[in-house]
Amino acid sequence: MKRSSTAAMPDEADAGLIAAFDEALWLEDGLAAGSRSAYRSDLRAAACWLRARGETLGNASPESLRRYLAARGEAGGFGARSQARAQSALRRFFAWQARSGRRSDDPAATLRSPRLPRALPATLSDQQVDALLAAPDVDTALGLRDRAWLELMYATGLRVSESVTVAVQAYAPRQGVIQVLGKGGKERLVPVGDEAHHWLERYLRHARPSLAGGRADEALFLTQHGKGMTRQNAWQRLRRYAGMAGVRGKVSPHTLRHAFATHLLDHGADLRAVQMLLGHSNLNTTQIYTHVARARLKALHAEHHPRG
């Protein structure tokens, strides 16, 4: 948006309002300096645009604010998140004005927020998954447990809470399935797969009895104290193995769930089947993985296709 030189700064009244609003953000809300700076910047830009058109921010009408935001969007260089932040600054500013008695109305109350693109969930490549699964030392009881746990997580897409609370009796090796209690107390049967089955059998035969130590804990995955794994324990172990495997970035148990869903779709799985396996009640929740899969396929095409 081009601004005339006469509107390079807000007028004195608007500058005073912005300063008073900034002080209120600090005194009343304890807002961090970086957030307050962003609000000031957005409000000054709006005040300058309005001043160039003979208007002021303090007395802006709903229509003036809509015109400003429309012009901002048409100017280019501002993404949906930037537009959303600008609207947030205006809403907060005018709500403060109304609350403090400076205005009897709130011209920003009817502003519609732009639709923000959904962030694609972080996932792993096939090679990263292979390196991660191979990281535990399977010559130790805990290492064998962790290999079985990681294999199950990747083979089934379980949530971390589901994996650490699943009972040993829930695993049916002959049928090749595991019974999972998901969100809202909903049960589902999830196929385990040959590789995960292999490591679970090794764990159950060679590691779990020694970890149990004669105790009767029902959890499938036990700690060295014979108790079920916790979410915190699972996070710590996974982060350790991610470092050992050279997998950079933030890796969490949910990353394996994302990898499970994305890799299934990459290899042609039906979206509704993935929905059932993940335990999603709404297909829209699963739909995000099609975007992940599409993004990965585009990247592979760009890297390997002669005309990519």
List active site positions.
159, 183, 254, 257, 280, 289
What is the four-CA torsion angle of 83, 85, 86, 88, rounded to 10 degrees?
120
Integer Cα distance of 157 and 259 in angstroms: 8
Determine whether 215 is exposed, middle or buried from the number of CB atoms within 10 Å of its CB (0-12, 13-18, 19+): exposed
Question: Nearest CA to 2 among 84, 93, 77?
Answer: 77
Integer Cα distance of 21 and 185 in angstroms: 47
Instruction: Please state at what angle helix 253-266 crosses helix 271-278, rounded to 10 degrees.
Output: 160
Counting every residue, how long is the chain? Answer: 308
3-state DSSP helix/strand/coil % of the chain, to nearest 5: 60, 5, 35
Which two three-digit tokens encode residue 5? Answer: 């030189």
CB atoms near residue 298 (< 10 Å) = 11
Question: What are residue 171's DSSP bridge partners?
Answer: 178
Question: What are residue 179's DSSP bridge partners?
Answer: 189
DSSP E strand stretches across the chain: 171-172, 177-181, 187-191
CB 167 within 8 Å of CB 221:
no
